[in-house]
Amino acid sequence: KAGVTQTPRYLIKTRGQQVTLSCSPISGHRSVSWYQQTPGQGLQFLFEYFSETQRNKGNFPGRFSGRQFSNSRSEMNVSTLELGDSALYLCASRGGLDTGELFFGEGSRLTVL
C-alpha cells in the first residue's frame, strides 16, 4: 500500500512569490492534514480536510490556504511568501476524523530567499 506522497520534495522561492504544494494520501484515506515544521517549534497544525471540506484550521494567516479534491488529494498554497515561511511542510492522512493515528509524508522543504 503506497504511503502519503508529497510533491515537490524541495523548492526554492523568493519573497513575494506564491507556492503550491501537493499531497496524495494513502489510498482509502479521506482525511488530510497539513503541518509546518520549523526548528525548535515542533509541528504546527495548519488545517485538516475531510471529504473536500475544511474541518479545522490552525493559527496561520490567510496567506496559507488549502483545498481537497474529490479523490482526497490535497493542495496547500502560500501566497506572498515571507522569509519566515521557510520550513518543512508535512502532509498526513488518516482513515477517518476520529482515528488518532496520522500517517505522514516525507514533506516538502520550502526555502524562501
Q: What is the grid cell recorded at 38?
A: 520549523
Sites for other proteins among residues 48-77 (CB under 8 A): 48, 50, 55-56, 58
Q: Where are the beta strands (DSSP E) in 1-113?
A: 5-7, 10-13, 19-24, 31-38, 42-50, 53-57, 64-68, 74-78, 87-94, 103-104, 108-112
Pairing mode, strands 108-112 and 87-94: antiparallel
Shortest Cβ distance from residue 103 to other proteins (Å)? Answer: 7
CB nearer other proteins, residue 2 or residue 101: 101
Judged by DSSP in three states, 74 sits in strand
Is 28 near other proteins (CB under 8 A)?
A: no
Q: What is the rounded distance in angstroms from the CA atom of residue 46 to the CA atom of residue 74?
A: 13
Taking CB under 8 A as the binding criterion, the range among 11-19, 66-74, 76-84, 105-113 that sits at the site for other proteins is 105-113
Taking CB under 8 A as the binding criterion, the range among 12-20, 63-71, 73-81, 93-101 that sits at the site for other proteins is 93-101
Is 106 near other proteins (CB under 8 A)?
A: yes
Contacts with other proteins by CB under 8 A lie at 4, 31, 33, 35, 40-45, 48, 50, 55-56, 58, 90, 92, 94, 97-107
